[in-house]
Chain A
Amino acid sequence: MSDIFSLTFLVGLLSATLRVATPLVYGAMGEIISERGGVLNLGIEGTMFLGAFTGFAAAAALSNAGVAGYLWLGLAAAILAGMIMGALMGLFAVTLGVNQHVSGLGITLLCTGLALFGFRLIFGESDVLPKVTPFAQIAPLGATSPAGVVLEQYLLTYIAFLVVVPVSWWLIYRTRFGLNLRAVGENPEAADASGVSVARTRYASLVLGGALMAVGGAFLSLAQLGAFTPGIVAGRGWVCIALVIFARWHPVRGMWGALLFGGVFALQLRLQTLGLELPYELFLALPYLVTILALALAGRNVAYPGAYLKPYHRE
């Protein structure tokens, strides 16, 4: 058991934490931006799944055609799919103003169906899992020192932590769009009265949020796995929904939440390899239980955005 405290173990744990947290950072930022405008997007799980599929399918096709930048083009295809699904959520939550819980779940079911349909259609029922050569990791500090090994990560991980989180914060708190977004999410009547288009702002946040969610999914297929499997997202979208409440709609707190979940997930992966006499499925369930626990401890009396779940129609 002394293995747990060894440097190698710690380095592996930290490195895996950053990797596992990456898709959650994208998903949570996407959901925070959506919910700040007042719309709960339960389409997140499906949008991540469709992003993972679209990214992979496009990359596989382009790679077979010998296109060099197939991974980045695949990522672009995933982003496009995510934007479309964000706009679809907008159609239901903003334009039609129907129940956001049910329409969001409907979008998740639709995305799941579409992705599985597309996968079966393109790749058939082969026993061999189709693969693409995924994104390579980069190691700015070399791969010899412990810090260097921890920081040997995908570029998308660097972008998540060093670009997406700060930019989300900046966007929400330091730009005109962010001011409008928060106004629309807290008090749409007042925002409308002061000349802000509630519908346009909400659509913009959902489309941007959908794009980020899809990148989170595509990270799994294009970086981590180099493949697409039906269980690739496995509830990470729902974890993001929990993280957003945990983070009280703040991007930086959302990042800490993602790291916490990433840490627990990475820890259970390490514990599995220690050969404890427990079924590994119980370890797999651990991160979900910890998320519920974190929510129970930190999710009490949180102040939801004022117009959360409320459609807005000018009278």
Chain B
Amino acid sequence: MQIRIEHRPSPLWLRTLIPAIAILSTFLLTSILALLVNVNPLEAGYYFVIKPLSGRTSALEVLVKMTPLALTGVAVAFAFAGGYFNIGAEGQLYAGATAATAAGLHLHGVTPWLALPIMLAAGFVAGMAWALVPALLKVRLGIDEVVTTLLLNYVAIFGVSALLNGPWRNPVSQWPQSPDIAATAIFPRLVPRSRLHFGFLVALAVLILFWFVMRWTAFGLRMRAVGLSATAADFAGIPVPRTLLTCALVSGGIAGLAGVSEIAGIHYHLIDAISPGYGYTGIIVATLGQLSAGGIALAAFFLALIDTGAQTVSRVLGVPVYLGDVIQATLLLTTLAALLLQRYRIRVLHATSRSAEGDA
């Protein structure tokens, strides 16, 4: 018997099982860590994926956590689909959060019908602005966008710290946090006695828009063509630089919306730790969701579940909360490997039937 790998897609039934294969291997791999801390992996697994959904409060909390992940997931997917590697969603989120706070501080007495669009527009524009320099460097000078977007994340976080320890330091508490935004700029709650807020609807709208643009517009088609091969797209007469620039800026804008949503929906003021790495998790979400709107929604939901579960596991079983981060990263890597089943199939050849194949 021998195993051979062929360069053609695996059968459909196996391809539909890709997420299950990735999740199962992630579970097996991370079980090692659970066993290391004397925790039954099955019990931990229960707290990670079942317990959060078994109660109304915690289930809604999963949707709260899903909101920024869906937004950064779409942001990353929008760039990646066009072949632009925007790894700067984290910084763009900080830029969006900062602009939303700046706007929110001045919206006292403005009707929410006006205040909320202003908040969203401010965050979107700020995210775009933060994405502009790497995009221009890429399009005009051919400078690799991966490094520049990554480095600007740190600049954004330092910039927010400077604001919070300087002009925006809370005058009452002296804590490094900004004053609260105007009450009219706060996102309304969707469900009583929960933290689920208007930002969730924003995320859903962005997901639907993303699906529409990719599926039904000429721009979506051009974008995917550039993403597949910039050379071929250029040859076909597609304006590659302009398409890349649009991808990069819209991607930054959507990441900025995630910042708005966290400010106006959760915190109501700017803090240092506005994001525990949502921009980076967005890369996992986009990859798991295979750059499709439906996939991103599912992936964001699942990763939000793991985030929520990690809190529970830490509280109940005393496992460090960072187990959640390890699980998410492992899931990304196992998914990357499992996705190979789309391109290759594994065949087991039996020596009796294929003895003439030689010693390959």
Contacts and interface: CB of A to CB of B under 8 A. Distances in A.
Interface of A: 42, 92, 96, 98-99, 101-103, 105-107, 109-110, 112-114, 116-117, 120-121, 234-235, 238-239, 241-242, 245, 279-282, 284-285, 288-289, 291-292, 295-296, 299-301
B322 A281 contact: no
B320 A107 contact: no
Interface in B282-332: 283-284, 287, 320-326, 328-330, 332
B336 A114 contact: no
A109 B155 contact: no
Interface in B19-78: 33, 36-37
B165 A117 contact: no
A113 B162 contact: no
A242 B146 CA distance: 9
Nearest to B148: A292
B333 A281 contact: no
Contacts of B137: 292, 295-296
Interface size class of B (residues with CB under 8 A): 35 or more
B322 A238 contact: no
B323 A117 contact: yes
Nearest to A42: B146
Contacts of A110: 326, 329-330, 333
A296 B142 CA distance: 9
Which of B85, B158, B280 has the most A CB atoms < 10 Å from its CB?
Answer: B158
B8 to A, nearest CB: 14
Interface in B78-92: 85, 87
B33 A117 contact: yes
16 contacts: A99-B336, A101-B85, A102-B332, A103-B336, A106-B332, A107-B329, A109-B280, A110-B329, A110-B330, A112-B329, A238-B154, A279-B165, A285-B159, A295-B148, A296-B137, A300-B143
B151 A300 contact: no
Which of A98, A103, A106, A284 has the most B CB atoms < 10 Å from its CB?
Answer: A106
Interface in B93-151: 133, 137, 141-144, 146-148, 150-151
A282 B158 contact: yes
The 3 closest A-B pairs by CB, nearest first: A113-B325, A120-B320, A281-B162
Contacts of A102: 283, 287, 332, 336
A279 B166 contact: yes
A114 B283 CA distance: 18
B322 A103 contact: no
Contacts of A109: 280, 284, 325, 328-329, 332
A96 B158 CA distance: 38
A284 B160 CA distance: 12
Contact of A114 (B87, B321, B326): B326
A98 B337 contact: yes
A121 B320 contact: yes
Given A92-B336, A238-B151, A281-B162, A105 B87 contact: yes
B183 to A, nearest CB: 29
Contacts of B323: 113, 117
B150 A235 contact: yes
A191 B151 CA distance: 35
A96 B283 contact: no
Given A102-B287, A113-B326, A245 B150 contact: no
Contacts of A114: 326
B318 to A, nearest CB: 10
Given A113-B326, A285-B159, A295-B144, 4 more contacts: A110-B329, A113-B325, A117-B326, A235-B151
B282 to A, nearest CB: 11
Which of A242, A281, A299 has the most B CB atoms < 10 Å from its CB?
Answer: A281
Contacts of B320: 116-117, 120-121
A105 B328 CA distance: 12
A131 B159 CA distance: 30
A107 B333 CA distance: 8
A295 B151 CA distance: 11
B18 interface: no
A263 B166 CA distance: 26
Given A284-B158, A285-B155, A121 B37 contact: yes
A113 B58 CA distance: 24
Given A109-B280, A109-B284, A117 B337 contact: no
B161 interface: yes
A292 B283 contact: no
B158 to A, nearest CB: 4
B238 interface: no
Nearest to B153: A235
A269 to B, nearest CB: 14
Contacts of B85: 101
Contact of A112 (B152, B153, B325): B325
Contacts of B284: 106, 109
Contact of B328 (A113, A234, A239, A241): A113
